[in-house]
């Protein structure tokens, strides 16, 4: 799915949900329900695009492995594509703020931090510096600092900064799936 201008994946509520439903231990039904509940609670064009993008990526993960899951996800994708989005509003502020972040537990924010750290590390090692994820992680880290919350050295901000510095000296070799 092509990203629409000014719609970010790095909305805190969305990212917390996405990271909490990641992995094979969460059933497909639970994943679909979680993203549907998120969309129904937001009803914005931003949420619509996030959910549709997630479903398309989720479906790609099942292709060649589980046709029943592919078909089930396709039904969900179809439901979203059939929606009339012309009346949906844009989020007033889709990006993370301290006021948003303090609503979530340290555990949820830290699990998200680790998930984003791993994704970003892969990108940075390939010379790809994605501004949105880095800005998002900077805000999360400032909240950890403000609350004097300890994060493991293997996910440290110092390591992230070093990866960013190294990436700035490399040619981008990151390959995207679509």
| Residue pLDDT tens, the chain, 178 long | 555 667 788 889 999 999 999 999 999 999 999 999 999 999 999 999 999 999 999 999 999 999 999 999 999 999 999 999 999 998 876 666 667 778 899 999 999 999 999 999 999 999 999 999 999 999 899 999 999 999 999 999 999 999 999 999 999 887 765 4
Phi and psi (nearest 5°) for 157? -65, -35
Q: How far is CA 120 from CA 4, 116, 126, 159, 167, in A?
A: 21, 6, 10, 11, 11
Determine contact, residues 133/120, Cβ cutoff 8 Å: yes
HSE, CB side, 13 Å, CA atoms: give it for residue 7.
18
Strand ranges inside 42-177, DSSP E? none
| DSSP code, position 154 | G
pTM over 0.95: no
Query: In degrees, to the nearest 5, what angle opens at C-alpha 138 toward C-alphas 136 and 141?
Result: 110
């Amino acid at each position: 799915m092509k990203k629409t201008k000014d719609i970010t994946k790095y909305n805190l509520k969305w990212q917390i949900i996405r990271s909490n439903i990641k992995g094979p231990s969460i059933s497909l039904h639970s994943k679909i329900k979680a993203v549907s509940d998120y969309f129904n609670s937001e009803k914005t064009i931003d949420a619509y695009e996030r959910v549709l993008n997630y479903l398309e990526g989720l479906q790609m993960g099942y292709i060649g492995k589980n046709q029943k899951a592919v078909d089930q996800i396709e039904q969900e994708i179809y439901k979203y594509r059939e929606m009339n989005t012309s009346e949906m509003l844009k989020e007033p502020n889709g990006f993370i703020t301290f006021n948003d972040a303090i609503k979530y537990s340290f555990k949820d924010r830290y699990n998200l931090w680790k998930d984003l750290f791993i994704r970003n590390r892969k990108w940075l090692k390939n010379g790809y510096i994605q501004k949105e994820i880095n800005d998002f992680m900077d805000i999360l880290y400032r909240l950890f600092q403000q609350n004097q919350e300890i994060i493991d050295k293997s996910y440290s901000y110092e390591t992230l900064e070093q990866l960013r510095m190294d990436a700035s000296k490399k040619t981008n070799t990151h390959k995207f799936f679509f």
